[in-house]
Amino acid sequence: MAKLNSPFFSIILAFRNEKAFLEDCLDSFDRQTLPKEMWEIILVDGCSDDGSREIADNYVKTHHNAKLVDNPAMIATAGWNRGLQVALGKYFCLASGHSITDKHFLLKAKEILENNEDIHALGGRVIKIGLNNISKGIAAATNTTFAMGGSYYRIGNKPRKVNVIGNGIYLRKLVDMIGLYDESLKRSGDWEFNYRVCANGFNMYFDPELRIKVFTRADYKSIFIQQFRTGFWKVKIWAKHPRSLLLRHVIPSLFVLWLLLILFVLFFNKIILTVWLLPLLLYIFALMINTIKAYKEDVRWYYVMLTFPVIHIAYGLGFIAGLFRWWKCFKIFKESE
């Protein structure tokens, strides 16, 4: 059995103001079937002011495999880097303060990694869940391809090689070879790190037996802001890594531009307007089909249906705003290559 000063896993849990979920998150790690001597948990506090810090303090006092680190920058990428500075494990695992990790997660991950030494990064199913009617509708929608663009870690059911994982496990030595997380990114820093892992020839793997439940945003305002920021920062990642851009990243912004152009088409004749509105009918049809597919007994269908356009429009607007904000970065990054 590994000693605590050389654990197999270092779990890096960066959080800020997660009082409502943090205790349940930590309890899920207490229930892990992998012995605690095999892993450590590093709590990285981003200057919480809602009582989360006190929860973390109490946890560290009662758990010999826990550490508490400060993150004055208050952004996720900086928090992950602060955690990596004190991590002792052969592998590190990113965790979210509003997540619940399956009790066999670490044990199964260890078995997979020990039996497949060519795997450098490993992830599993990330399942969104909600607490109230609205968040349950949002969760049902975000667990679909139509909402999130086919990220395999949200919908996959078979083991396979992938190019992106959520709440991933990574070989610690990767950081020495490709660098730390980019602290200039206030969002999607884990996605950018995933890109560098694969771009440098390392293997990333998905296994659906590894499961994590993540509490989704509680209302439409929160999910709108989240998706707007995701689209906004995706442009800066695109500027830094031109080959990282995928079609699914662009489609929402084209959708938003098309909606805006409808206003101009209104001034033309009815035939042009009819032709221009035809894609809208197709979108509404797709909306209905995917709402039916995502529907569950404890979810109200209209909350699911509303979530789709909120995500698409928010992401698209964020991407367009990002183009205006980061267009100079395309030239800067190109000159630095």
Q: Are residues 50 and 181 in the same domain?
A: yes
Residue 3 lies in a domain: no
> Both 65 and 205 in a single domain?
yes
Q: Considering 206, 229, 252, which residue would you say is the last residue of a domain? A: 229
- Which of 119-123, 131-135, 331-335 comes out lowest in average pLDDT? 331-335
DSSP 47-102: ---SSHHHHHHHHHHH-TTEEEEE-TT-SHHHHHHHHHHH--SSEEEEEETTEEE-
Cα 214 to Cα 151: distance, rounded to the nearest angstrom: 15
**pLDDT at residue 287 tops 60:** yes
Same domain, residue pair 325 and 268: yes
Least confident of 100-109, 171-180, 246-255: 246-255
296 and 213 both lie in a single domain: no
pLDDT at 333: 53
Phi, psi at residue 73, to the nearest 5°? -70, -25
Q: Which of 229, 257, 287 is the last residue of a domain?
A: 229
Q: What is the pLDDT of residues 57-73, one digit of tens each?
A: 999 999 999 999 999 99
Percentage of the chain modeled with pLDDT above 70: 95
Q: Does 4 fall in a domain? A: no
Same domain, 111 and 129: yes
Query: Residue 45: which of 9, 76, 20 has the closest Cα?
Result: 76
Residue 40 located in a structural domain: yes
- The answer to the question of residue 193 being in a domain is yes
| 3 state DSSP class of 37 | helix
Number of structural domains found in the chain: 2
Q: Are 255 and 312 in contact (CB under 8 A)?
A: yes
Q: How far apart are alpha carbons 182 and 191 in whole angstroms?
A: 11
129 is a domain residue: yes
**pLDDT over threshold 70, residue 120:** yes
What is the mean pLDDT of the segment spanning 32-46?
Answer: 97
> Which pair of structure tokens corresponds to residue 1?
């059995």
pTM of the model: 0.91
Residue pair 216/130 in contact by the 8 Å Cβ criterion: yes
157 in the same domain as 129 = yes
Mean pLDDT across the stretch 276-300? 88
Q: What is the CATH number of the domain that holds 27?
A: 3.90.550.10
The reply to whether 1 falls in a domain is: no
Residues 224 and 249 in one domain: no
161: β partners = 205
> What is the C-alpha separation between 300 and 317, in angstroms, rounded?
27
Give the CA-trace dihedral at 161, 207, 12, 111, to 10 degrees.
-110
Domain boundary among 203, 229, 255: 229
pLDDT tens digits, one per residue of 149-188? 878 999 899 999 999 999 999 999 999 999 999 999 999 9
- Strands 66-70 and 39-45 turn out to be parallel
163/311 same-domain check: no
Task: Residue 36: give the domain boundaries.
Answer: 9-229
Question: Quick one: how many helices (H) and strands (E) in the chain?
Answer: 13, 9
Q: Average pLDDT of 279-291? A: 92
pLDDT grade for 335, boundaries at 50, 70 and 90: very low
Same-domain pairing of 166 and 302: no
φ, ψ of residue 240 in degrees (nearest 5): -75, -40
Shortest CA distance to 239 belongs to which of 176, 110, 180, 325? 325
Q: What is the separation of C-alpha 15 from the centre of its chain, rounded to a whole number of angstroms?
A: 14
Cα Rg, the chain, nearest whole Å: 21
pLDDT digits (tens, 9 = 90+) for 210-247: 999 999 999 999 999 999 999 999 999 999 998 998 88
Q: Which residue has the tokens 């489609």?
A: 251
Whether 217 and 272 share a structural domain: no
Amino acid occupying residue 11? I
d(CA 112, CA 266): 58
Q: Are residues 216 and 258 in the same domain?
A: no
Look at residue 2 and tell me if it is in a domain. no
Mean pLDDT, the chain, whole residue set: 92
Residues 35 and 73 in one domain: yes
Q: What is the mean pLDDT of residues 289-309?
A: 90
Crossing angle, helix 270-294 and helix 247-265, to 10 degrees?
140
- Would you state the pLDDT for residue 266? 72
